[in-house]
Amino acid sequence: MRRGLISFLTCLVATLPLAPAAADALPAQSSSAAGVTVKATPRTLAGAVWEFELVFDTHTQDLKDDPAKSASLHAAGASAAPLAWQGDPPGGHHRKGVLRFKAITPAPAALELRLQRAGEPSPRVFRWKTK
């Protein structure tokens, strides 16, 4: 009985999401251009999947961005395309969601999230030092 309980608790703890102090300490960053503000916040930088919250705001156009296709994560010479976007669908003036990436290993000293918006000449770039 005791071994079963220990095994169960070990499995349960192994499946809990871990949010290291580094992700909690990394500040949100904003970029405003072409009438649209994008705010990016690292949420989870532990485990196999890293998460970034994105918030889009405008009063001049519909937000038709597809972050799953227009974003990339760069660190230590490696880059990763998003695994998924979970959030508001295209349209409207305010959108929010979470962009998920496969973790870059080993853990880099710095991260760069790039978001290439349609019609903008260069990507929005958000940088954080993780160490």
Q: Say if residues 117 and 61 touch (Cβ distance below 8 Å).
A: no
Report DSSP state, residue 35: T
Q: Angle 51-73-102 (CA atoms, 0-180°, nearest 5)?
A: 55
Q: Closest Cα to residue 123, out of 6, 38, 8, 4?
A: 38
pLDDT for res 63: 93
Q: Closest Cα to residue 50, out of 130, 118, 123?
A: 130
At 82-93, the pLDDT tens digits run 999 999 999 989
Domains of the chain, CATH where assigned: 19-129 (2.60.40.1640)
At 19-41, the pLDDT tens digits run 343 456 799 999 999 999 999 99
pTM: predicted TM-score of the whole model, two decimal places:
0.79
d(CA 65, CA 27): 23
At 98-121, the pLDDT tens digits run 999 999 988 899 999 999 999 899
